[in-house]
A and B are shown apart, each in its own frame.
Chain A
Amino acid sequence: MKKIGFLMAATALVAAGSAHAESHEGRATDGHLNIIYWQAPSLLNPYLSGGTKELEASSLVIEPLARYDETGTMVPFLVDEIPTVDNGGVSEDLTTITWTLSEGIKWSDGTPLTAADAVFTWQYCTDPESGCAQLSNYNDVESVEAVDDRTIKITFSVPKPFPYGPFVGAQSPIIQAAQFADCLGAAAPTCTDANFAPIGTGPFVVTDFKANDVASFVANENYRDPMKPAFATLNLKGGGDAASAARSVLETGEFDYAWNLQVEPEILNQMAAAGQGTVVSAFGTSVERMHVNQTDPDPELGDERATVAHPHPFLTDPNVSRALSLAIDREILVEAGYGSSGQPTCNVLPAPAIYASTNNDWCLNYDPDEANRLLDEAGWVMGDDGVRTKDGERLSILYQTSTNSVRQGTQALVKQMWEEIGVETELRNIDGSVFFGGDPSSPDTFQKFFADIEMYTNNFDGTDPERYMGNWACAEIPSPETQWQGSNMQRFCSEEYDALVVEFGQTAALEDRAALAIKMNDMLMNSGSIIPLVHRGGVSAHSNTLEGVLMNEWDSELWNIADWTRAE
């Protein structure tokens, strides 16, 4: 219901935005735009920093060949059309893709954008010494060639059913070869000027950049649409926290747009009531989920702790996991912690719509009676102290997550909900930089998973779930042999699933890919090794005087800033 409402609102906004885009007077006629990113960008080169804030800030300046729009559909930016097998842009064997740049696109310094810039971008990121954060976008790329000034041919070493990794989306913009020529490999960090003020094809040009503080921009005189952008100057300020950023748009009106407002819904609603601005949200692929450890984290196991050699004493039973899932009232979690930026979900792959399964929706029904029944059936007997036991084993769970007030709130609620079905829960939270830090010498990382259940959010870039679903292959299980690297945190392992992963990589037709993705998602859900909780969206706020904002979780939120205008 909520989602439909949101979609309608979005559609209305599209209409309003496009209607206005035609009426505004021309480039640089709407004055100054103030944007606040409470986490300020530390540089404007997304290849040297994988952070979202850098990606978004740099999207004002540098652009990929195509972006995803607010519905997750690819839209051409620097090209006239998206290459597909049908239009001949993608070869039949799925190993090459050929892009043709639109005519007359110029860098902000007036020089023409050529295919050579794309080739350089690929070389820049794939240089082994550069430490490029977006390297995965160029996975399996064998070569990028400039067939002529406007034609870019990318050759993959394997068939790529989804060949839109390189140069599509905010993660993979094209940088100017001339500017970065001396910045390849180990020299990348020495090019401070270029990293702070890249030359781009986007609607704005950097005039001043203060790392982690403020960036100033002016409209790009050489932008391809002579009527855009509407704003002459733009400030991107950083610092503070999400609540104060929200306040500066919704209450004081000092800023026009604030990003990533992870604020308690109650507070945000209060601020929005001031009537200065509007809270907007959009949903991508982020899911707050619980990973259910399939291995035994018992410290007495020593070096073999949390490895596949020792299955978990009770969490490998899908019925136990199912009971835990049924006993969680997801609506309450959303209400308490997420508000308009969350919706209950039962899938680890909740979007785009064609990939979303409907087979697991039983979990949306909060049903502690059924949960109790499942546990009774599985032989767990309620003890005198309200905790179930079976064969001397107590149904006691160590539940860890990163330190974050919303997560601790969720933990507390879940603990209470589980108490009602006779599950004893011990809560633990770990500083995010440690938990997600992946330091193999730390016992507290999410890869080591020395707990029974851990909770965090994950997602995938773009719209294609192939790599994301590959996270749960057996080979991805973190273990001492892999220096505790790997993405299969819960140590789920199934030959059948591995086979589907391989099949996914060889299937080209969208419908078939969707069917596969749903099947894989359902397998994971049925195994009980993942308990999805909340489908999380991005929340931002914009001033009521700002028009044209199309909240987008598939690309940069600022993806269409060229179309933003000031209301009369």
Chain B
Amino acid sequence: MSEMAPIKPLVEVRDLTMHFDIHAGILRRKVGAVKAVDGLSFDIMEGETLGLVGESGCGKSTTGRAILRLYDPTAGSVRIGGVDVASLGSADLRRARPQMQMIFQDPQASLNPRMTVGSIIAEPLREHSDMDRAARDVRVRELMDAVGLNRAFASRYPHEFSGGQRQRIGIARALALNPRFIVCDEPIAALDVSIQAQVVNLLEDLQRDLGLTYLFISHDLSMVRHLANRVAVMYLGKIVELAPRDALYSDPRHPYTEALLSAVPVADPVVEATRQQIILQGDVPSPANPPKGCNFCTRCPKVMPVCHEVSPVFVEHMPGRFAACHLIDEEKDASVLRENKNDNVQQGETQ
């Protein structure tokens, strides 16, 4: 499928910043900000799946929500299909909503408990199309078929379904308005392992059939490896590395990516036995008070003096491969530009 992917970016994120103010004291003055997302820039190509991985609290979900304007970003732009959704007025934003949708992590909580499945799926149609009731019912049934739900269940309430079924409802709901771009925010994290594969397969099928573009947010590196074309790794509100899937998994360039990958168990017991896990020391610093210099400098096994002083720049050190690390800068200074033979994914241009 990757060969089929066109090279035009559908989503262009530039300097996306999302700070949450901290208020304290009697008058609730602003005393600081949580830098949940701190100056992200990346593209998502039409028809591709970009995996976004990182530890809990690194800002993955915030990124997804900020891209869809579920939060008002503090700074930066998000162009989806050429329109900057980060700066749209509320009426225009509502009109833009149908093309971008989200599948949430907790299928139970993300569905209004007092609405039937039919009305949950139909509600966006009521809001954004001029379908009459009968047409809406037809569309709801189609969508339920598409996600593999028994159409007889349209009048039931969310709590009457299993976790996997609820996630199918969430997907059907997201698909109702024929979106082009879907943010999947850990869509399988809350599901049983046996159900996870079904949902992932459904997402893949839908992508193939409907030509969808996904931002797939997950902390599950194996699942991302299975699903994504490219993978971005986040740490403390910043993307530290972004690369085509195979390149990233086989040749991680950022120490954090290395550490993450080393933690993934391997099915082959022989390999697993020799797997060298890099144990990171210490805790993730608070995003309200990130360290000076590189965000990762407090835990990096390869930390250098410069890391405590200067924040590394997120650069394309190889075509299609981006990273923010002083190690890479050093390599660059040595003018040794290595060709990565394993990289067979075509990359789009970035400015």
CB–CB under 8 A between A and B in the complex? Answer: no
Interface set of B (CB-CB < 8 Å, partner A): none
